[in-house]
Amino acid sequence: MNNKQEVTLKRQLNPMHVWAIAFGCIIGWGSFINPGKKFLPNSGVAGTAIAMVLGALVMVIIAFSYAYMVPKYPMAGGEFTFSKMCFGKRAAYICGWFLVAAYLTNVPMNSTAIGLIVDGLDGSADILKFGFHYQIAGFDVYMGEMILAMSILILFGILNIIGVKKAGFIQTVLAVMLAVCAFTLCAAGLISAKAKGINMQPIWGFDKTAFKAAAEEAGAAAVNVSEFAHSGTGGIMSAVLATFAIAPWAFVGFDTIPQAAEEFKFSYKKVMGIMVIAIAFGCFVYTSNNTVAAAALENWPERVVNGEWVLLVAAEELLGTFGKVLIGIGVSSAVLSGIMGFYMASSRLMYSMARDGFLPGFFGKLDEKYQTPKNAMLFCMAVSLAGPILGREALGWFVDMSAIGASIGYAFTCLATSRTLRRDGDGTKFLKVMSIIGVIFSFAFMVLQLIPIPGLESVHFCKESYIMLVVWIVLGALFYLKQSKNFIKN
C-alpha cells in the first residue's frame, strides 16, 4: 500500500471537542444501569466510591504516559502508533488488534441500551416491544428495539463521515447535557430530606445470590440483608477490588484522545489537562449516581434483587416526574456520546492500521470531500448493526474484552514511554516512575480479569467471555498470517 495519501485528516477538533469525546466514551450506559446491577451489591456505596477514586488515580498515572507520547508521535492510532515506533510492527499488531475489541464492542453495546432506556421510561406502555421477537441468552430481542437502535447507529455513523467538526459539536452538546444531568441529580440528593445516610447500608455491599436465595426460601417472611453484608477485612477488600478491577472498562475513553491526534487544532501540551478533567468528571458521575441511588431508597437491596432500575426509581423518588425525565436525558446523552466517541476512535485506529498495511488498504482511504476515514467508518457501522440483532446479554460477553483490550493498550503505552524516556533522555524522574507504576497496574488489571481468585468470583470473566477471548485471539492469529507479509515489508 502506498503511504502517501491524496488527502489527509483535517485539523478541526478544539479542546472542548476532545474533552467531550473522552468524557462521552468514559460515561456510557453502565454509569446509570450498574449501580443496581453491579456496584451496590458488589461494593456498596463506600466500596464503589473508594474503588472509583483509586481507579481514577491509576488512570491519571497512566495518562502521564499518554501525554508524553502524543507530542512525540502525533498521529492517528494512539497506542498502536506508540507500540509500532517503540517495539516494532508485530507488537503494534497485538496492541491494535485488542484495541479494536476495546473500542468497537462498546458501540453496539451502547446501542442495545437504547431499548432499555425507553422500556424504563415508558412504564407499562412497552412502545418498542412490537413485531417479531426472540431470545438470545435469556434476553428478549424485539423488532421495534432493533429498528430504533439501528437507526441511531446509522445516523451517528453518517455524522462521523460528513465531518469531524459536526460530530465534535454534537458530541460536546451531548457531553454537556450528561454533565448537567449528573450534577443536578447530585444536588437533589444533597438537599432532599428523602436522601438519608442510613439508607446506604450495607455500605460495603452484600452477597446478592445468598440474599436472594434466602428471601425466596423465607417467602413472605422478612430477611435481614445485614446478615449477608460484606464485612471484615477480607469482605471489605473484596468489595473494593470487585469494582476496582473493572476500572479499565469504567474509564476506557480517556485513551481515545490520541486516536484523533492528527485532527487537533491546538497545542499537544493541553492533552494531559483534558485527560485529567475527563477522568475526574467520569469518577464523579460513577460515584454520584451510585451514592444517590442508595441514599434515596430505604430498601435498595430488595429492589436490586428484584432487578429494578434503582437509579431511575431513586430519581423519581427525589424529584418526581422531573427526576425520571432527568435520568432519561442523562442516560440518552451518555449512550449517544459513547456511540459517537467510540465510532470516532475505532475508525481512526483502523485507518491508522490500514495506512501501515496491518489492515487492507480499503480501510486506509479518506473521503475526498470530508477528509474522514469513510471506509473504516462504514465497516464500523456494519459491525455495530449486528449488535441489536444479537441482544444485550450476548454482547456482554464481547464487551468483557473491552477491559482486557484497554489494559493491553495502557501497558503498551506505559512501556513505550519508559523506553522512549531512556532513548531520548528528555523526561523527569517523576515521569519515569509514573510509567513504571502504570505498567504494574496494567498487568494487575489483566490478572484480576483473567485469573479466578478466591473471594473475587465477581471480578473475572464468565465462561462465555473466556470463549470469546480465545476466539478473538485465534482470529487475530489467522489474520496475522494472512496480512503480515504486507505490513512487515510496508
Of residues 136 and 73, the one with the higher pLDDT is 73
Quick one: which H or E segment has residue 230? none
Report, in angstroms and rounded to the nearest whole number, the Rg of the chain calculated over CA atoms.
22
Structural contact between residues 295 and 44, judged by C-beta atoms closer than 8 angstroms: no
pLDDT digits (tens, 9 = 90+) for 284-307: 999 999 999 999 998 899 999 988
pLDDT digits (tens, 9 = 90+) for 145-155: 899 999 999 99
pTM: predicted TM-score of the whole model, two decimal places: 0.89
Of the ranges 61-70, 164-173, 385-394, which one carries the lowest mean pLDDT score? Answer: 385-394
What band does 282 get if pLDDT is binned at 50, 70 and 90? very high
pLDDT at 420 over 90: yes
Q: Please state the rounded mean pLDDT for residues 116-132.
A: 80
What is the model's pLDDT at position 259? 86
Q: What are the percentages of helix, strand and coil residues in the chain, rounded to 5?
A: 75, 0, 20
| Residues composing the chain | 490
Contacts of 193 (CB under 8 A, 6+ apart): none
pLDDT digits (tens, 9 = 90+) for 349-404: 998 888 888 888 888 888 888 888 899 999 999 988 988 888 766 666 666 778 88
pLDDT at 173 over 80: yes
pLDDT at 79 over 80: yes
Q: What nine digits make up the cell of 292? A: 444517590
What is the model's pLDDT at position 490? 55
What band does 200 get if pLDDT is binned at 50, 70 and 90? very high
Other CB atoms within a 10 A radius of the CB of residue 76 amount to 23
Of the ranges 68-72, 84-88, 450-454, which one carries the lowest mean pLDDT score? Answer: 450-454
What is the model's pLDDT at position 162? 86
Of residues 394 and 176, the one with the higher pLDDT is 176
What is the model's pLDDT at position 4? 45
What is the model's pLDDT at position 60? 96
What band does 1 get if pLDDT is binned at 50, 70 and 90? very low
pLDDT at 3 over 50: no
What is the model's pLDDT at position 416? 96
Grid look-up 430504533 returns 148
pLDDT digits (tens, 9 = 90+) for 209-266: 888 888 888 765 577 888 889 888 888 988 998 888 888 888 988 888 888 888 888 8
Of the ranges 1-10, 77-86, 105-114, 358-367, which one carries the lowest mean pLDDT score? Answer: 1-10
pLDDT over 90 percentage in the chain: 41
pLDDT at 444 over 50: yes
What is the model's pLDDT at position 366? 87
In whole angstroms, what is the distance from residue 115 CA to residue 105 CA? 17
pLDDT over 70 percentage in the chain: 93
Most confident of 33-37, 74-78, 139-143, 309-313: 309-313
Of the ranges 59-68, 433-442, 481-490, which one carries the lowest mean pLDDT score? Answer: 481-490
Q: Please state the rounded mean pLDDT for residues 6-29.
A: 84
Phi-psi region of 134 (alpha: psi -120 to 50; beta: other; left: phi over 0): beta
Largest CA distance in the chain: 73
CA angle 175, 181, 186 (to 5 degrees): 125
Average pLDDT, the chain: 87
pLDDT at 205 over 70: yes
What is the model's pLDDT at position 248? 83
Three-class SS of residue 422? helix
Domains of the chain: 15-489 (1.20.1740.10)
Q: What nine digits make up the cell of 338? A: 459513547
What is the model's pLDDT at position 456? 64
What is the model's pLDDT at position 443? 93
Phi-psi region of 44 (alpha: psi -120 to 50; beta: other; left: phi over 0): left
Of residues 163 and 476, the one with the higher pLDDT is 476
What band does 2 get if pLDDT is binned at 50, 70 and 90? very low
pLDDT at 82 over 90: yes
